[in-house]
Amino acid sequence: MNLNTATNALAKFKKEFSGEIIVPDDLAYNEARTIFNAMIDRRPGVIAQCANVDDVKNAIRFGRDHNLEIAVRGGGHSVAGKALTEGGIVIDLRQMHEVTVDPEARTATVGGGATMSHLDRATEPYGLATTGGRVSTTGVGGYTLGGGDGWLARKMGLACDNLQAVELVTASGDHVRASDSENPELFWALHGGGGNFGIATSFTFRLRELPKVTVAILLWQPDAGPEVLRGYRDFLGTAPDEVGGGAVYITGPEEEFVPDTLVGKLTFAVILFYAGPEAGARDDAAPLFALGHEGEMVVEVSNAEAQCMLNDPPGYRNYWSAEYLDAFPDEAVDLFARHAGDMIVPSPSQHVLIPQGGAIARGPAEYPIPWRQAPWCVHPFGLWADPADDERGRKWTRAIRSDLRPWSSGATYLNFIGDEGEDRIVAGFGKENYTRLAKVKAKYDPENVFHLNHNIKPG
């Protein structure tokens, strides 16, 4: 279909639509098609900014009737850029961001286009929370459907572990609900299976009491990294579930707590995200505070405030990946630290080690999340401004994965990676789970209409 000549079809579509329809000639077009990863530059033929479930149904029907490739946008944070299509239709859910909290039942019902900030701010007045991402700008939908690891996961489990129900519109336009008692096989698939089965318009989460959290950032010269990493590794092996966070090489920011010798330079940091007050954090994480850091920031805040503290800056070119490790011996520590020297500095790039365990490892083993048992995740998170650095950034990320592969579990978290081939998609689910997911895909999307994702082919 040539959308430039389809004025009648577009006029009819707009008449039936409650939200906003944006096409390339509109002033709002470029802003509407901008996503988090500036490396992705695609020009959709239509952007349908949905206001309600009927809009989602109409947009799917319009796309299918006119043979347009369909992309689905929530937060637009995917490094792979799957929220955009070249020439097709983007079904944009960002207007559907309402969050309703039931403080007595301790649940939150969240619109499919909400970000973590919408969810966190809505639960904040009640002193309640659930596992969210590591930044406030992440879309709840894609994050949760991919599994949902985050700062609170060691204490509260993955985001999908806290799901009670999901409502979605299928490729045929049906509006269905999935829970333990309604369409249970679909509900199983939505615990890690991504956006393969339909467009999620609503999520219901279980909430838990969490009035305050404590965030600490401890800084060292980069040469201290290997020794501190060993201490960090040994501490996390016995740390309580309240202790989350990670160890990371970064560019030292211009902040009061950062020593002048580290500003704008390669810096090693330990981030402590503690599910509780500062007194508990200092007590339970005393071994971390005893590692001889040069810079320190410690603050007790609400979870909503904490989630905003480390937001990734938009507008940069992005390339990320992940390797899940069954072990992190001294040899792996040294390799991890050595790769920090190849980072693009100064830049917002991060070379991250994330601890797992706790409620992540104890979570439901039946879900298609094969990476939950690994105790460590290595997450090279590359961001840079200059396109001339693209190859260097990609090479750095791939080299980290390659060198640490001897300790890899073989699984990966698809929310952390871009387009790395079909084998990596299967590794994100596990082979047996992939076969089962493909059967669910065949039931709800037999023609693979929703293929702009880490795609599961209908079985």
Q: Within 13 Å and on the Cβ side, how many CA atoms surround 134? A: 19
For CATH 3.30.43.10, the residue range(s) in the chain are: 10-92
pLDDT for residue 18: 98
pLDDT for residue 123: 98
Buried/exposed code over 114-148 (b: 16+ C-beta within 10 A; e: otherwise)? bbbbbbbbbbbebebbbbbbbbbbbbbbbbbbbbb
3-state helix, strand, coil in the chain (%, to 5): 35, 25, 45
Structure-block tokens of residue 272:
């402590």
**Angle formed by the axes of helices 7-15 and 53-65, nearest 10°:** 160
CA distance linking residue 355 with residue 76, whole number of Å: 26
CA distance linking residue 435 with residue 320, whole number of Å: 27
For the chain, the average pLDDT equals: 97
Say if domain 10-92 classifies as CATH 2.40.33.20. Answer: no
CA 333 to chain centre: 25
CA distance linking residue 1 with residue 17, whole number of Å: 20
Amino acid at 425: I
139 bridge partner residues: 115
pLDDT digits over 354-381, tens only?
A: 999 999 999 999 999 999 999 999 999 9
pLDDT at 194 over 80: yes
CA distance linking residue 63 with residue 441, whole number of Å: 19
pLDDT digits over 145-175, tens only?
A: 999 999 999 999 999 999 999 999 999 999 9
What does the pLDDT average to over 301-307?
Answer: 97
pLDDT for residue 8: 85
CA distance linking residue 137 with residue 151, whole number of Å: 14
Q: Classify domain 99-209 at the CATH class level.
A: alpha beta
Contact 194, 145 (CB under 8 A): yes
pLDDT digits over 309-325, tens only?
A: 999 999 999 999 999 99
- Quick one: which of 437, 454, 450 has its CA closest to 198? 450
For CATH 3.40.462.20, the residue range(s) in the chain are: 213-416
Amino acid at 159: A
CA distance linking residue 378 with residue 318, whole number of Å: 17
Q: By three-state DSSP, how is residue 427 classified?
A: helix
Q: Classify domain 213-416 at the CATH class level.
A: alpha beta
pLDDT at 122 over 70: yes
- According to DSSP, the β-strands at 89-92 and 46-49 are parallel
- Quick one: which of 402, 358, 399, 404 has its CA closest to 377? 404
For CATH 3.30.465.10, the residue range(s) in the chain are: 99-209
Contact 455, 72 (CB under 8 A): no
What does the pLDDT average to over 287-294?
Answer: 97
Residue 7 pLDDT level (bands cut at 50, 70, 90): confident
What does the pLDDT average to over 209-221?
Answer: 98
pLDDT for residue 90: 98
pLDDT digits over 404-454, tens only?
A: 999 999 999 999 999 999 999 999 999 999 999 999 999 999 999 999 999
pLDDT for residue 280: 98
Please state the length of the chain: 459
Element (H, E) at 444: helix 431-444
Max intra-chain CA distance, the chain: 70
pLDDT digits over 35-58, tens only?
A: 999 999 999 999 999 999 999 999
Contact 389, 395 (CB under 8 A): no
pLDDT at 1 over 70: no
Give the predicted TM-score (pTM) of the model: 0.96
Q: Where are the beta strands (DSSP E) in 275-331?
A: 295-301, 317-320, 323-325
